[in-house]
Each structure stands twice: as structure tokens, then as C-alpha cells.
Amino acid sequence: MRFFYNGQQYEQRQFKVLPQIKEGEVPLLDQTLYTDPVLHHYDHIYKNPCMIGSDPETCTLWPPYLPIGQPYTIKVKGCALTSLAMVLGYHGVKSPNDPSTPIAPDELNTLLKNSGGYSRWGNIRWGKIRALTGGRVTFAPELSFGNLADNICNYGPQMVGAEGSAGVPNSHFLAATGLDSAGHFLVNDPWRSSAKWYGELNTWTVSNSIRGFVGPDYMVTDPSGVTIRLHSPAELLVTDPQGRRLGVDPSLGQRYQEIPSSYYQDISLADIETGEAGNRTKELTFGTPLGGEYILDVIGTGSGMYAVEIDAIDEAMNDSLRVIEEVPVTPGERHRYRFTFSGVAGSPLEIQADFNGGGQSSKVNSLLSYSGPWESQTHLAAGATAYSVFVFYSRNILPQTFRAVLEGVDVTSMFHPVPGTNERVTIPLVSGRNLLHLTVDGNVGTRIASDSDRLIFVVP
């Protein structure tokens, strides 16, 4: 660049404009200040619960989201929460108690807990941030780590993942605020409220992940998105209505990212006091989803139980959260589900398991579907005395018409048919052939039809 004074050049030099947010504009917050086990307990995560995937025969604290034992505090597990508070504070989200100061981590925690901002297992529901901030800040999954410098320059600070002391990717989160001349990212570190160079030797090992956000200066016309969280010894693979895939197929050793504005990553927040990584969550997210039917495969990589949360936000910021839980899986086993994202404001997610009992048209069969059993006749081990049926009820069923009969005995009271939900029901078995007959009426187009499924369980 050349510099002139009174029409005469007096200097010429080259320089680089670095994408750095002015020091002090991003609040520097310290998660270690929030230690009160009553005032500062962190969402739904508790110490020493049974993990998803543990042996149900030896696990006495199932399920892990119940308030059992000592809750984690913001100090121990609040790095993502505190980093999010820094991002929100930069964009003008204020304390509900003092409008002159940015929102604090404990205040954000209370807001999330009171407004459905946490998932069943304590993960922050990123898509809810726009509604909770009155539209000031919007989650932007289309922002990538590869463009982090530009994202900071254009949209402000971004959350980034790093390896915590346990060496596990995305076990610590920080707020990235700029880039120096050596190519290192400056971050606000919530662990000690100190600025460090992200990615520099002897600080943090990068996880190449980002939770992107845009502020009120950026117009968002469609904030819709879908996030699927898996707690399990398994992998997720989603196929959209155009056949594009996102996730991992361990049977082929393939990772896919064909759906735009997406990511699929592991998260395992480290314990700041012990350094241990926590219960691992696989998080799959894509923005501005197409309307239509999606296929969701859960593919086992170990033996245990899994839980899946399917979390959708429509363009009007209405949210719909569906949970599938306590489903056993073994290595290589593939469980297939289908869900419909309509794109119409206020329309809830519709989820079906891939096995629908058969015997009728697909629309009638979809009134009841199952993620166990996976076929009409199931052969069990000798001596088996029970089987857990995982039944999915279409939102079109007429619940008062539901009936369940096991070997001629009415067992309807064991089931709780609520439209648009699913449940696990354990039925007793005896040696030989056991027939479970389930029926329900429902609305199919302009008529009422009856779905009838005969499930056979054979015990040698």
C-alpha cells in the first residue's frame, strides 16, 4: 500500500489485516467460578450414572438422565455452556438480572433448563438458540472449521472444539476470537478465563470442529435444521430424500458428508477436576433440510443399548424432539428408521421403524411399526422368559381402539399408545410358540383403516 501527503508519496509498505475481534469485546468468562451444587448444577448430566451401552443386568442406576447421585456443576462440565455465553454476550445478549452486563454462564444455564434448551441427556440444543435469544443469534451449521478465520471476520466469535486433558476430540470447547500473523487462533478459554493461542504447541490440540453462530447483523431466512444424537456403541447414517448421505457406515469403513451444511462428530466433555472424558455423544446435524422422508440407520459397533434423539427445528422456530431409547444392538447389526420432515411450520416429526408387521398396504402398516422384533417370527435362546417389544405409534392412530392379546390373554394395559410416540414393553414368554397380536385403527387418507400385526416368539 502507498501513502500520500499533499499529493506526494511518502511511504510504501505491505501489511496484512488480521481477522481479530478487538480485545475485550468478547466477554472473557470463567467456568471455574460456578461451583455451587444447588445453584450451578449443569443440566441433566450426573456423576457415576450407568452409561448408555452398559449391561442392563448389572446396571442399577438406569437410566442415566434420572437425578441420581451428585450432579455435575458448571465448573466441572460447563466449557461448552460458558463458551456459548461468550458468543451470545458478544452479540448483545444481556443478563436477565442486569441489562447492562452480558449474560453469565449460570444465567444461560437457567434459561436453557427452563426453556427446553437441553436434550434428554444434557446436550445443548443448538437450534433453540435463535428462539431463546429473540432472534439475535442463530446457530449456523453451514459454517465450517476450514473457513474459521473468515467466519470470525464476517460473523463474530465461534465455538471450537479441542482435545481436553483426556486426549479425546471435542472434550473441551472454547470461543475463537481471531487469528495472529503466525496462523494461530486466539481463543477465550473458559477453563481459566484466559486467552490462549488455539492450536499452538503445548496449548490445545484442535479437533477441526466448530459450532457456528451468526448475530443480528446477518439476515437468516430459514433457521430450520435437524440434529440427531446417538448415545451408544454404534454409528449413525442418514439418507435424505435425494439419496445424499451423512454419517458413517462401519460395515464399509466409509464416512459420508454429501448433505450440505452438515457435520457428524463425537462429543465427550471432559471433567475439569479429574481430566476424564465423559459419556460420548455422536452428533449429526444438517441445516435447511429438504421436506420429505429420511432414512436413519443405526449400525452397531459393540454390544449394548443405544438411545437416539431426533431434534428438528422448522423455519418458524417450532421444535420437535423425539427419543428412541434402551434398544439393544450388537456389532454389525443395522436398525433402520424413517422420519418425515415436512418443512411446514408446526408439523411434528413422524418416526417409523423399518419393520411394520406386513400384511396390509404400506400406509395402513405404518400405523404400528417396530424396532424389535425386526421380523414376524423371532427365535430366542432356550430358557428365555421375556422379550422387549419396541413399538412405534403413528400420529394417525386412534389410541382408544388399540388392543394387545398375548396367547389369548388381553394385555392391552401393558401398552400406552400415544399418537406420535414409541415405547418399550416387556412381555412374558413360555417355552414353545408365543403369539402377540396387536391391532389399532387409524386415519389413512380420508378413511379409517385397521392395522393388525401378529408377532411370533419361539422359545426352544
258-274 mean pLDDT? 90
| Nearest CA among 304, 299, 319 for reference residue 139 | 319
CATH for 49-214 is: 3.90.70
**CATH 3.90.70 in the chain, residue ranges:** 49-214
pLDDT of residue 433: 98
pLDDT surpasses 50 at 54: no
pLDDT in tens, 82-127: 999 999 999 999 999 999 999 999 999 999 989 999 988 889 999 9
Query: Each residue of 279-297: pLDDT tens digit?
Result: 788 999 999 999 999 999 9
**What's the average model confidence in pLDDT over 350-367?**
93
Cα angle value 240/241/245 (rounded, 5°) = 25
- Cα torsion at 437, 323, 234, 76 (round to 10°)? -150
At the topology level, CATH places domain 361-459 in Immunoglobulin-like (2.60.40)
Q: Pick the residue with more confidence: 55 or 323?
A: 323
Structure confidence at residue 66 as a pLDDT band (50, 70, 90): very low
The cell for 125 is 440444543
Q: What is the mean pLDDT of residues 292-307?
A: 94
CA distance 245 to 174: 29
Provide the pLDDT confidence category of residue 68 given band limits of 50, 70 and 90. Answer: very low
CATH 2.60.40, the chain: domain bounds: 361-459
Report CA 262 to chain centroid distance, whole Å: 13
pLDDT band at 164 (very low <50, low <70, confident <90, very high): confident
At residue 228, the pLDDT reads: 98
Smallest CA-to-CA distance from 414 within 443, 441, 386 is with 386
Instruction: Name the pTM for this structure.
Output: 0.88
Contact call for residues 121 and 279 (beta carbons, < 8 A): yes
Contact 83, 174 (CB under 8 A): yes
